[in-house]
Chain A
Amino acid sequence: MSELTLTVMRLGFLAVLWLFVIVAVQVIRSDLFGTRVTQRGSRREAGRAQQAQRQAPPQQRQQPASGGRQRRNAPTKLVVSEGTLTGTTVALQGQTITLGRAHDSTIVLDDDYASSRHARIYPDRDGNWIVEDLGSTNGTYLDRSRLTTPTPIPLGAPIRIGKTVIELRK
């Protein structure tokens, strides 16, 4: 076998081995670089941010969650706009989001007026986001009305749970 062929195979093998490592790391890149990290001020700053938010329309600094799959005007994230978790965002990727004081909730509410399993937000078959009250003590409010049935969420409508207000944004 010629020297050249063997050299090519030698370097080729190393390249393929490293390619495998790189592909493997690509598979788990969300572990290495984290998912969406949101800047969130301390509580005092959060208060100021809250006031600013009331005056100005919310800033849209984040890139949309998962590109072309979603329709236009579909919300891409859930934002907590009032309460102790102000500033927290959760990317909407087709998963059910549970809210409540229970530790396994997606958003754990540190709020005495929230029930352990207070409400959940999920997409229906057409991709509309639905909020459903899970039999909470104090109820879940969409805009001003208390929820009795699972209800589609309009973009930007405030959902109030205890002292916490969340909304869906693009």
Chain B
Amino acid sequence: MSGTSATNTSTHHTSTIGAIGAPSRRNTELALLVFAVLIPVFAYANVGLAINDQVPAGLLSYGLGLGLLAGVAHLVVRKFAPYADPLMLPLATLLNGLGLVAIWRLDQSKLLQSIGQAGGKATNQLIYTAMGIALFAVVLIFLKDHRTLQRYTYISMAGALVLLLLPLVPGLGAELTYGAKIWIQVGSFTIQPGEFAKIVLAVFFAGYLMVKRDALALASRRFMGLYLPRGRDLGPIIVVWMISILILVFETDLGTSLLFFGMFVIMLYVATERTSWIVFGLLMSGAGAVGVASFEPHVQTRVQAWLNPMHEYTLSRTPGATGVHSEQAMQALWAFGSGGTLGTGWGQGHSELIRFAANSDFIFATFGEELGLAGVMAILLIYGLVVERGVRTALAARDPFGKLLAVGLSGAFALQVFVVAGGVMGLIPLTGMTMPFLAYGGSSVIANWALIGILIRISDTARRPAPAPAPSPDAEMTQVVRPS
């Protein structure tokens, strides 16, 4: 944190001076990265020993593959972002590696193989990871300065809207939808454009709020302790709200709309420092969710499964019961319950009983069952550390655009983890989103590697030692001492 200053003259007791001229810490990153590759290799061997009584044949190639990808990523960081944060890459690598192991573990399940939900998915995921790392490298190599993104503020807005609307285009939207229409079909691939829209939208919000934040923060009236924004400033938040509601209605994608709206409110709060935006945001998301839930049957099913998981489970098993009933909410809770504090151990749980989407939306239940509370807490802490590094990057960044972008990206990451983990654990209604890095799914892995790439770029710029003092642009007149 260079440039920390001691301007704390009015407050009383303490002032903190940050360490300046931070070292690049690339070797720390390398050591942690080796650790982060070894842990999944250990888990992989553990799964093989537990299920097949032997060390899996693919152990070496899996370990080398993950290690090679991590090594390439590290070299790219070393070359193109030498002052970047030392933690982000190892944390993301560890999460990705653990996700690969869990997907491979579910691939071994005969039950999932028989219904076409598993088998060879881990290989696919490894290919997606490679593509993700490639995009990560492309971001670091070609995005020399994150402020270039600022030029594309309004193009980003248009791009994000196009990405979000793509699944609704007839012929392009994939037909394999189970409830939500969030995929598009390109050749034999299905892509989830919402994952990429998350990043593009953060760029737009950061660029927009940087310009408008003074108007949003200062032009307001005080009413009952809250700053009420003016109508014309309220415009953007209403527009974003409408868009997220429309996504919810037409694509029935509760998670993505919550993610976008939440990200906007977080960035608005950070840009303006006004608590009233949070109050407005919560009220509006509450109103939107209740409003949509009252007439959208898909959302109603999810809410029902959240409120009465056991009842819904029984109904789903009752022949002749009308309507759609979800059994997964209860199954996920059972998985967590049977895991207990320390878990059953890798490969010894029965989370494949959550038949559908066991390796994507519900992969967190597998972790809950096989690693128990202790493992789940560790994984949530790792997610927390990724978010902490993102927010720390925002604090250290010197330009407002970089600050807002870093906060927006890490806020979106945090919200996504909350929405998925909360949904699987029964804290909030389930939404069809993927756990970043852990869950099976190409779009999610690739988009999240790009997100980490942008955060690393911002942190590199932020932690880079300041250039030698130039003639001051903000020079004010200095009073001359007159000897009297």
Q: Taking beta carbons and an 8 Å cutoff, which residues of A are in contact with B? A: 1, 5-7, 9-14, 16-18, 20-21, 23-25, 27-28, 30-31, 34-43, 80, 84-85, 88-91, 93-98, 100-108, 110, 112-117, 120, 134, 136-138
Residue of B nearest to A18 (CB): B378
Show 15 A/B contacts (Cβ-Cβ < 8 Å), sorted by A: A10-B346, A20-B39, A21-B382, A24-B91, A28-B385, A30-B19, A36-B17, A40-B14, A93-B21, A96-B20, A96-B21, A102-B475, A113-B479, A116-B478, A138-B478
Chain B residues within 8 Å of A, Cβ to Cβ = 2-7, 9, 12-21, 25, 28, 32, 35-36, 39, 42-43, 46, 49-50, 53, 86-87, 90-91, 94, 342-346, 348, 371-372, 374-375, 378-379, 381-382, 385, 388-389, 392, 398, 466, 469, 471-472, 474-476, 478-481
Given the interface pairs A34-B16, A137-B480, the reply to whether A21 lies near B7 with Cβ below 8 Å is no
Do residues B469 and A117 form an inter-chain contact, with CB atoms below 8 A? yes
Residues of chain A with a CB closer than 8 A to B466's CB:
104
- Residue among B2, B25, B469 with max Cβ neighbours from chain A (10 Å): B469
A71 to chain B, nearest CB (A): 19
Chain A residues closer than 8 Å to B392, beta-carbon distance: 28, 31
Given A38-B14, A103-B474, answer yes or no on A28-B87 (Cβ-Cβ < 8 Å).
yes
Residue contact B19 to A91, C-beta cutoff 8 Å: yes
Complex CA–CA separation, A93 to B345 (angstroms): 47
Shortest beta-carbon distance from B168 to chain A in Å: 41
Contacts A24-B90, A117-B469 hold; do A105 and B5 have CB atoms under 8 A apart? yes
B348 engages A6 (CB within 8 Å) = yes
With contacts defined as CB atoms under 8 Å apart, how many contacts are there between chain A and chain B in the complex? 182
* Contact call A17/B378, Cβ cutoff below 8 A: yes
Question: Among B5, B345, B374, B471, which residue has its beta carbon within 8 angstroms of that of A103?
Answer: B5
Option from B21, B371, B480 in Cβ contact (under 8 Å) with A94: B21
Chain A residue nearest in CB terms to B46? A9
Which residues of A are found within 8 Å of B13, using beta-carbon distances? 39-41
How far is B94's CA from A104's CA once the two chains are assembled, in angstroms?
36
- Rounded to whole angstroms, the CA-CA distance of A20 and B87 in the bound complex is 11
Instruction: Contact check, B345 vs A23: say whether CB atoms are below 8 A apart.
Output: no
A20 and B94 contact, CB distance less than 8 A: yes
Contact indicator B17/A35 (Cβ below 8 Å): yes
Question: Shortest Cβ distance from A93 into chain B, in angstroms?
Answer: 6
Q: Is the CB of B346 within 8 A of A91?
A: no
Tell me the smallest distance from the CB of B85 to a CB of chain A, in Å: 9
Q: Assess the A108–B6 pair: CB atoms within 8 A.
A: yes
Of the candidates A13, A27, A31, the one whose C-beta lies within 8 Å of that of B346 is A13
B35 touches A39 (CB 8 A): no
Instruction: Please indicate the chain B residues that have their CB under 8 angstroms from the CB of A16 in the complex.
Output: 39, 42
Whether the Cβ atoms of B16 and A36 lie closer than 8 Å is yes
Q: Are B342 and A85 in contact (CB under 8 A)?
A: no
Bound-complex Cα distance A24 to B29 (A): 10
Q: Are B9 and A85 in contact (CB under 8 A)?
A: yes
Please state if B87 and A27 are interface contacts (CB–CB under 8 Å).
Answer: yes
Among B15, B372, B388, the most chain A Cβ lie within 10 Å of the Cβ of B15
Q: Which residues of A contact B472 (CB under 8 A)?
A: 100, 102, 116-117
Are the CB atoms of B476 and A116 closer together than 8 Å? Answer: yes
Determine which of A11, A23, A101, A115 lies in contact with B32 in the assembled complex, contact meaning CB atoms within 8 Å. A23
Q: What distance in Å separates the Cβ of A159 from its nearest Cβ neighbour in chain B?
A: 16
Instruction: Choose one: A12, A13, A101, A106; the contact of B371 (CB below 8 Å).
Output: A13
A160 → chain B closest CB, angstroms: 11
* Residue numbers in A under 8 Å from B7 (CB-CB): 108, 110
A115 CA / B378 CA spacing, docked (Å): 51
Interchain CA distance A7-B49 in the complex, whole Å? 12
Separation of A77 and B43 alpha carbons in the complex (Å): 47
Residues from chain A with Cβ under 8 Å of B14 in the complex: 37-40
Q: Give, as a whole number of angstroms, the nearest-CB distance from B131 to chain A.
A: 26
A28-B389 contact given A10-B342, A103-B5, A104-B3, CB 8 Å threshold: yes
